[in-house]
Amino acid sequence: MAAKTLTRAAIGLLGTIAIPAMAAAQETPLTIGMSTTPTTLDPHEDSSAPNNATSRHIWDSLINLTGTSANAPELATEWKVVDPTHWEFKLRKGVKFHDGSEFNADDVIASLLRARDKPSQSFASYTRNIVNVTATDPYTIVVETKVPDPILLNSVSRIRIISADCKEAPVQDFDNGKCAIGTGAYSFVSYSPGSNLTLKRNDSYFAGPSHWSNVTLRFLPDDGARLASLLSNEIDLIETLPADGMARVEASDNLQVINGLSSRFVYLGLDVSRDVSPFVKAADGSDLDKNPLKDERVRRAMLMSINRPAIVDRVMQKNGTVADQFVTQGYAGYSGKVEKVGYDPAAAKALLAEAGYPDGFSLTLHGPSGRYVKDAEVLQAVGQMFTRIGIKSKVEVLPWSMYSEAYSKGTYSTYFGSWGVNTGETTNPTVALVATRDEKKGTGRYNGGGVSDPKIDEVLAKASSTLDEAARAPLLEELSTETFNNLWLLPMHYENVVLGAKKTVSYTPRGDKYTLAYDVKPAD
């Protein structure tokens, strides 16, 4: 590879480690059954949980976002606020990429700016405030922001640090391995899109080598295939253990169920911007002259028709918790002013009539298959509940690779979505899902319903630039109140984390639901 711009220092000094020191290296392989297929290995092209979790094996970030959403050192060993719009980061010395080249400030600058400037703008929620990144020496960088940014550390934790030599590389150079070169715990061996990613241990990893000599991530979105692979002893651990297979795993002498809590918020998004929505018709199938989803009474009726406790209890088999807003009580931005909407189909019918739809209407519900817990089944249940109040519903599910980009672009009228609220507060999901879509500001990247609420935009701007926590708290709460009292999104549930594994391994689930091989340990 070409020489980097800044002089590389050959210093083998280790600072504070990013993750706990790993066990002594052994020749032991690990195979994980992933519930969703990533769309690419390019770590800056598409920000989704499957992509971000997969990339985390090969690349590190400045900050390590732990399983409890804490910010810990990784490629940055320390940081400080120089002034309200400038942060200084000291970089770890002696780190090498998998090809043997030295890591320094050049790579950080290239990575943060590449993620910011990528045409896909998939990381805009995290990079939108970054004005510039500069180096004061080979191991010190300064990030300049447009406004004071209270969650900058969390934001840069999402950006993987690639080699500066690959800053202009196309997506295919990451997928074919040419630029799949990081500083992480594992190095690239091979990638078969839609099938598997094979990795080998980085024995020179700064935090110590992983226990696992080789790691295979098998992409198995089909619940039955994933469960069968675990039961047949082909796989050591699987994500999203199907609820209907839990009893079989619990009855096995060799397998175990692993449970944990998640910060993933699941919702129904609605087209609230177009005057005529493409997948909404009159009850008889004819065209409508207006979009009923723009009426808050209709949105409220739709939520009232959904028996969310029954869906969590029966369809998801208790692998979730009913949600009313982005975060649960105890998290920053939880609002006691959000009106809870209960299951009441009779009142829902009355609201539809009041809104001018006594005979209801028809629509198509779109969603992914194999991305969320029982996603296709949940959508089928919702469609049946809508139909009972007069909203005749058809359900269409697609593979995640086909669905993910379409829903975020606003292709659908009613769609199934989710967001991992890993910041533990409400600006992050608001920026991505509800703020007015604005590429220059980096807002609304996943606002598939076209929500544009001036009050939300105004409060978000204040909350996003307020460093004082006491002054910021009521602004975070107001974001929840405004979003969910207007029902710009229909809240469904928070997902629980349920995995299946051999008893020979142990694993502590993460709040973001990422399954990371270096967190898997041999059982005691």
Q: Strand pairing of 320-322 and 489-502?
A: antiparallel
Residue partners of 12: CB distance under 8 A and separation at least 6: 93, 94
Position 290 in a domain: yes
Same domain, 457 and 387: yes
Same domain, 201 and 334: no
pLDDT band at 26 (very low <50, low <70, confident <90, very high): low
Position 330 in a domain: yes
CATH number at residue 354: 3.10.105.10
What does the pLDDT read at residue 244?
82
In the chain, what is the straight-line distance between the N-terminal and C-terminal CA atoms, in Å?
Answer: 43
Of the candidates 245, 217, 197, the residue with the CA atom closest to the CA atom of residue 373: 245
What does the pLDDT read at residue 15?
33
Same domain, 174 and 213: yes
pLDDT tens per residue across span 468-502: 889 999 999 999 999 999 999 999 999 999 999 99
Same domain, 349 and 483: yes
- On average, the pLDDT of the chain sits at 92
Position 392 in a domain: yes
Which residues constitute the domain of residue 108? 29-254+503-522
Same domain, 248 and 284: no
Number of domains in the chain: 2
CATH number at residue 162: 3.40.190.10
Sheet holding 86-91, edge to edge: 76-83, 86-91, 140-145, 130-137
Same domain, 33 and 175: yes
What string of H, E and C letters represents the secondary structure of 489-516?
Answer: EEEEEEEEEEEEEECCEECCCCCCCCCC
| Measured distance CA(35)–CA(239) in Å, rounded | 6
- Residue 484, CA distances (Å) to 222, 299, 310, 337, 406 in order: 33, 11, 21, 10, 24
Same domain, 518 and 472: no
Position 184 in a domain: yes
pLDDT band at 5 (very low <50, low <70, confident <90, very high): very low
Same domain, 49 and 161: yes
Same domain, 490 and 424: yes
pLDDT band at 184 (very low <50, low <70, confident <90, very high): very high
- Is the pLDDT confidence value at 347 over 70? yes
pLDDT tens per residue across span 103-140: 999 999 999 999 999 999 999 989 999 999 999 999 99
Same domain, 385 and 314: yes
What does the pLDDT read at residue 65?
87
| Measured distance CA(403)–CA(341) in Å, rounded | 29
Question: Of residues 506 and 19, which shows the higher confidence score?
Answer: 506
- Is the pLDDT confidence value at 13 over 60? no
pLDDT tens per residue across span 256-273: 999 988 889 999 999 999
| Measured distance CA(495)–CA(374) in Å, rounded | 10
* Residue 49 contacts residue 514 (beta carbons within 8 Å): yes
Position 489 in a domain: yes
Same domain, 213 and 338: no
Match 């509800």 to its residue by tokens.
434
Same domain, 423 and 275: yes
Position 169 in a domain: yes
